[in-house]
Amino acid sequence: MKATLVNRVHSTIDPADDHPYLNGAWTPMMEEWDAEELSVEGSLPLDLDGVYLRNSENPVHQPLGKYHPFDGDGVLHAIRFRDGKASYRNRFIRTQGFLAEQAAGRALWSGLAEMPSRSERPGWGAQGALKDSSSTDVVVHAGRALSSFYQCGALYQLDPQTLEQYGPADWNGSFPAEGVSAHAKVDTTTGELLFFNYSKQAPHMYCGVVDAAGKLIHYQPVPLPGPRLPHDMAYTRRFMILNDFPLFWDASLFSRGLHVARMHDLPSRFALVPRPGVGGDICWFEADPTYVLHFVNAWEEGDEVVLNGYRQRSPMPPPLAGAPRAYAMLMAYTDLHSLKPQLWRWRFNLRTGATREEPLDEGISEFGSFNHRNAMQPNRYVYSALGEPGMFLFNGLCKHDLRNKTRQDLSFGAGIFGSEAPFAPRKGSRADQAEDDGYLVTYITDMNRDRSECWVYAAQDPGAGPLAKVRLPARIPSGTHACWASSEELASH
Ligand SMILES: [Fe+2]
């Protein structure tokens, strides 16, 4: 491996801070690396051709008050596979907040778990007074990686391979003042970016569409009854699917500046918003109360719109038993075994207005991926992350076969934690012949050997273990959202 330490950022985190999300597999890294000719255990498939990008919440400064693991500064990790070889880079996303705190030499914003009044600078986003960390998600649109923040903010643009940075997207001056939430979607059939945002101010939510050339072509309100906490969206050929779940702010505390969410005695609601050129009004559908962090795929089937996602059986869990008291609530809300998400299906009938829903799997799983060549059409396979009990860490993967109603689980091993594992189609494969003809790619944080690797599995049999383990130049912290961009997508701009 040829590894170059490019930069080390100034950090003020107290090494003695015992916060569970500042230690162990969540210990942040302060180095930026370029590495080529990465050493490989096993062998990299010659037909794995593209880039795996992962964002991370990577705090740099000692927090102002209580720390929440979603507060950290965004760091993108990019590993490029081609001709059986791999190269890697990571970079802090040069957000306005990151640069301001580097200049100040300390934290200037309080986080999600702290009073906004402790922030020393105004913030942008659904919460107000939060730093726009751009640390939640990453997608590749119009040839650029776009990093995003779930509380709504800018979309920071980077080259998906070199991680050269181009600052926030402007969309020729039309970037919305309300910002953009994490989990914007790229429809690779049209080249469009579909997005939403949400805020404290009425109408509380908007959605929009950016075309393949990076021009905002659609922006419309999706009025909600009050401030809500939507996290993800889905789409079909004709609709964007947005949501209004009964987990949202406690109004009496909210008016005093305290951000505490609770379940209300209300149904779940889903909005079907016609995409540009389709015409018609927003259609709302009701469903059983729950909360959903992430959806997997959606499509149209006769009169119905079908939506797959992870329905939480316990959206408002009790404090995590056995956790340090100061962190017990925080840890419950970041523990999949407390929230109990399971793969679920909703069917919205456009003719009758009725909703039907059913479980697709009884087990706990989340952070799904699938072969995006099957986006907007029925897909057979879903690949989910499995959670380590008690911590927001992924300790394995699961392949769901929705046709045969079976699942195959694999564990990374004790003390080894992964990331969201997108499906990477095998170069030359055809999704209409074998939907699972490709690979699953994930970064690994190995606490036993104090190292990180990128593991590549054959999606047709992930239980057989990784085909390749690619060594990274340093141990990287646990992280969440990731994407795969194929060489065709990288070359098409
Ligand atoms: Fe998310």
Domain that holds residue 365: 2-131+155-163+244-491
- Please give the Cα distance from 31 to 145 (Å, whole number): 21
Q: What percent of the chain is predicted at pLDDT more than 90?
A: 90
What distance in angstroms lies between residue 323's CA and the mean position of ligand 1's atoms?
24
How far does residue 182's CA lie from ligand 1's centre (Å)?
7
**Distance from residue 309's CA to the centre of ligand 1 (Å):** 12
pLDDT at 126: 80
What is the C-alpha radius of gyration for the chain, rounded to an integer number of angstroms?
Answer: 21
CA of 105 to the centre of ligand 1 (A): 29
Is residue 39 assigned to a domain? yes
pLDDT tens per residue across span 91-144: 999 999 999 999 999 999 999 888 888 999 988 888 788 999 999 999 999 999
Is residue 239 in a domain? no
Tokens of 481: 């959202």
User: Is residue 254 scored above 80 in pLDDT?
Assistant: no
Predicted pLDDT of residue 274: 98
Whole-model pTM over 0.95: yes
* pLDDT exceeds 70 at position 163: yes
Reduced to 3 states (helix: H, G, I; strand: E, B; else coil), residue 134 is coil
Report how far ligand 1's centroid is from the alpha carbon of 294 (Å): 6
CA 231 to ligand 1 center in whole angstroms: 6
Q: How high is the pLDDT of residue 326?
A: 87
Give pLDDT, residue 383: 98
* Least confident among 197-201, 259-263, 470-474: 259-263
The domain tally of the chain equals 1
Q: Are the CB atoms for 24 and 447 separated by under 8 Å? A: yes
- 77 CB contacts (<8 Å, ≥6 apart)? 53, 54, 56, 88, 89, 90, 443, 476, 479
Cα–ligand 1 centroid distance for 428 (angstroms): 30
Structural domain contains residue 378: yes
Q: What is the mean pLDDT of residues 84-92?
A: 98
Q: Kindly tell me if the per-residue pLDDT of 301 is higher than 80.
A: yes
Residue 418 lies in a domain: yes
| pLDDT band, very low/low/confident/very high, at 491 (cuts 50, 70, 90) | confident
Q: Does any domain span residue 476?
A: yes
pLDDT given at position 451: 98
Tell how far the Cα of 4 is from the centroid of ligand 1, in angstroms: 31
377, pLDDT greater than 80: yes
The answer to whether residue 381 sits within a structural domain is yes
Residue-wise pLDDT for 433-448, tens only, equals 899 999 999 999 999 9
Query: What's the CA-to-centroid distance between 338 and ligand 1, angstroms?
Result: 17
Which residues partner with 140 through β-bridges?
Answer: 145
The alpha carbon of 36 and the centre of ligand 1 are apart by a number of angstroms equal to 30
Is 183 within a domain?
A: no
Comparing CA positions, the residue from 102, 94, 159, 150 lying closest to residue 126 is: 150
Mean pLDDT of the chain: 95
Q: Can you tell me the mean pLDDT for 354-380?
A: 97
Contacts of 322 (CB under 8 A, 6+ apart): 390
Rounded distance from Cα 295 to ligand 1 centre (Å): 9
Asked whether the predicted pLDDT for residue 478 surpasses 90, the reply is: yes
Q: Is residue 222 part of a domain?
A: no
Q: What is the 3-state secondary structure (H, E, C) of 353-389?
A: CCEEEEECCCCCCEEEECCHHHCCCCCCEEEEEEECC
Q: Is the pLDDT of residue 334 over 90?
A: yes
